[in-house]
């Protein structure tokens, strides 16, 4: 019988999905589920929903709610995180302030100014949670669903040795798409996917030893396929490999697709995650309003539905039983991808068994894919360090390194935007208390300004004087 703590369990859609999975997972009979979050009212709705399922299906599980994090994790075997610090109020700042400065985000959740600031809010919470776990459940496994996945994972790795894995569903849902396009059964396709979260790559697509990539790349040349995922298809056309997330996600990870209206009109003109501005913000806002107005969980029948595509329950099942389960996980790179830096977060094939979790080594990815990933790895490393140290200059550097932001704004414009966001979000950023980001003025060079004589090696001085005489 396991004790499972769910941190952020007031997240109604996600927590109920995981609970539906866990309550019917072999090996978890008689387990206790502790729902933790800052708002007891939301937790009690999820608790009531869960008890309805337990009663109707004759299950032996127990469930209760608490707003005390230490109580939740005490003696836990598994800790599952799904919180969002600042909620929609903070997310509004993540999206609209950059938009006012000229940075158009589709999601603003994992990269970009929004992703960097979400990391600033989340990483200190993880640090506190993992300190509690070190004291109260040092052998527990932490399974994280909180975004930005990569930056959060780096921050977690920097602050604690508690074992953790970051979980996402981009690979399994994209495999549905690929199998459907190829008219093949998903289970018949052998694949390898690796990279970073929301920007991993299908390195292999095979059936019975036959390479399926040529057929797939031919298909996405057709307008009826291309229009569904313009950015992902365009990147695959130029770099040779398909990515594991949506056009909306990938358009933010690279500098090519959202930098001006021409690019937006050409590549990000489809609704929702097809690239629309603010797509995920508006979707989350709609859901928040919907669930504030009506308690939809009160209409639930208590029936169990099929287990979802989320990995969480399958991982626990594998650990609790003799079943082996393969999945994609986000972990700290320790040579798993050799041309990405150790210490960053990578998404690689893994498997779970009774001995725990095991990441597999991918080796060297095609260098062009590592290059595209590295654009965002630098952002993630800087964002994590900034969040831990509460350093405004590192925070600025993280946003300045962001490919989309750098494609749109000058350094001064980036600094001003970061300063505005820092001031707007202070109540969720205690590590920045009493700290500001200086706003540097523009240095004017009036007409006729003569530069001072440059002290150079004699040979270089000749070149310098020649350049000035030539008007260069």
**Residues spanned by the domain of 8:** 3-167
Q: What is the pLDDT of residues 422-439, one digit of tens each?
A: 999 999 999 999 999 999
pLDDT digits (tens, 9 = 90+) for 24-71: 999 999 999 999 999 999 999 999 999 999 999 999 999 999 999 999
Task: Determine, yes or no, domain membership for 133.
Answer: yes
| Domain count across the chain | 1
- 169 classed as catalytic: yes
The structure's pTM equals 0.94
pLDDT band at 11 (very low <50, low <70, confident <90, very high): confident
Read off the pLDDT of residues 121-149 as tens digits, 9 standing for 90 and up: 999 999 999 999 999 999 999 999 999 99
Confidence of residue 457 (pLDDT cuts 50, 70, 90): confident
* Catalytic entry in 78, 95, 253, 432: 253
Mean pLDDT along residues 332-360: 97
Residue 459: what pLDDT? Answer: 66
Q: Is 106 a member of any domain?
A: yes
What CATH number should be reported for the domain holding residue 72?
3.40.50.720
Q: Tell me, what's the pLDDT at 454?
A: 78
Confidence of residue 296 (pLDDT cuts 50, 70, 90): confident
**pLDDT at 427 (0 to 100):** 97
Each residue of 358-387: pLDDT tens digit?
A: 999 999 999 999 999 999 999 999 999 999
- pLDDT confidence bin for 464, thresholds 50/70/90: low
- 78 within some domain: yes
In a domain, 43, yes or no: yes
3-state helix/strand/coil string of the chain? CCEEEEECCCCHHHHHHHHHHHCCCCCCCCCEEEEECCCHHHHHHHHHHHHHHHHHCCCCCEEEEECCHHHHHCCCCEEEECCCCCHHHHHHHHHHHHHHHCCCCCCCCCCHHHHHHHHHHHHHHHHHHHHHHHHHCCCCEEEECCCCHHHHHHHHHHHCCCCEEECCCHHHHHHHHHHHHHCCCHHHCEEEEEEECCEEEEEEEEECCEECHHHHHHHCCCHHHHHHHHHHHHHHHHHCCCECCCHHHHHHHCCCCCCCHHHHHHHCCECHHHECCCHHHHHHHHHHHHHHHCCHHHHCCCCCCCCCCCCHHHHHHHHHCCCCEEEEEEEECCCCECCCCCCCEEEEEEEEECCEEEECCCECCCHHHHHHHHHHHHHHHHHHHHHHHCCHHHHHHHHHHCHHHHHHCCHHHHHHHHHHHHHHCHHHCHHHCCCCCCCCCCCCCCCCCCCCCCCCCHHHHHHHHHHHHCCC
pLDDT tens digits for 158-206?
A: 999 999 999 998 999 999 999 999 999 999 999 999 999 999 999 999 9
pLDDT at 456 over 90: no
Q: Is residue 114 part of a domain?
A: yes
- Pick the catalytic residue from 64, 169, 213, 296: 169
Q: How confident is the model at residue 233 (pLDDT cuts 50, 70, 90)?
A: very high
pLDDT digits (tens, 9 = 90+) for 395-416: 999 999 999 999 999 999 999 9
Residue 71 in domain:
yes
Is 268 a member of any domain?
no
Residue 243 lies in a domain: no
- How confident is the model at residue 173, as a pLDDT? 92
Is 282 tagged catalytic? no
Q: What is the mean pLDDT of the chain?
A: 95
Between 145 and 14, the higher pLDDT residue: 145
């Amino acid at each position: 019988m396991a004790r499972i703590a769910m941190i952020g369990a007031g997240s109604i859609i996600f927590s109920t999905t995981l609970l539906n999975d866990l309550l019917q997972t072999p090996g978890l009979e008689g387990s206790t589920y502790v729902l933790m979050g800052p708002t007891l009212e939301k937790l009690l709705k999820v608790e009531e929903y869960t008890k309805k399922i337990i009663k109707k299906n004759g299950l032996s599980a127990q469930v209760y709610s608490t707003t005390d994090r230490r109580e939740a994790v005490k003696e836990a075997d598994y800790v599952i995180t799904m919180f969002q610090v600042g909620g929609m109020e903070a997310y509004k700042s993540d999206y609209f302030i950059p938009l006012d400065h000229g940075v158009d985000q589709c999601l603003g959740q994992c990269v970009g100014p929004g992703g960097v600031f979400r990391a600033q809010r989340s990483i200190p919470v993880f640090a506190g949670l993992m300190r509690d776990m070190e004291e109260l459940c040092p052998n527990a496994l932490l399974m994280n669903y909180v975004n930005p996945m990569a930056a959060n994972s780096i921050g977690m790795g920097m602050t604690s040795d508690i074992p953790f894995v970051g979980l996402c569903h981009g690979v399994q849902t994209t495999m549905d798409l690929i199998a459907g396009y190829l008219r093949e059964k998903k289970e018949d396709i052998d694949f390898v996917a690796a990279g970073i979260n929301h920007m991993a790559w299908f390195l292999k697509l095979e059936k019975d030893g036959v390479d399926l990539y040529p057929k797939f790349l031919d298909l996405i040349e057709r307008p009826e396929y291309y229009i569904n995922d313009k950015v992902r298809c365009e990147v695959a056309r130029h770099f040779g490999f398909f990515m594991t997330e949506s056009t909306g996600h990938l358009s933010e990870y690279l500098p090519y697709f959202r930098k001006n209206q021409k690019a937006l009109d050409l590549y990000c003109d489809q609704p929702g995650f097809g690239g629309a501005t603010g797509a995920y913000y508006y979707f989350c806002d709609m859901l928040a309003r919907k669930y504030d107005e009506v308690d939809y969980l009160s209409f639930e029948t208590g029936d169990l539905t099929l287990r979802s595509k989320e990995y969480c329950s399958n991982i626990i099942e594998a650990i609790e039983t003799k079943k082996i389960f393969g999945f994609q996980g986000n972990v700290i790179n320790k040579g798993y991808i050799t041309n990405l830096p150790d210490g960053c977060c990578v998404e690689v094939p893994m498997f779970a068994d009774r001995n725990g979790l095991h990441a597999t080594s991918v080796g060297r990815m095609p260098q062009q894919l590592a290059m595209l990933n590295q654009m965002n790895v630098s952002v993630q490393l800087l964002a994590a360090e900034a969040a831990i140290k509460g350093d405004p200059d590192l925070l600025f550097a993280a946003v300045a390194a962001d490919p989309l932001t750098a494609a749109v704004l000058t350094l001064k414009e980036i600094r001003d935007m970061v300063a505005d966001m820092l001031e707007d979000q202070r109540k969720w950023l205690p590590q920045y208390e009493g700290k500001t980001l200086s706003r540097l003025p523009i240095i004017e060079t009036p007409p006729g300004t003569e530069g001072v004589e440059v002290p150079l090696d004699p040979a270089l001085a000749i070149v310098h004087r020649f350049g000035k005489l030539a008007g260069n």
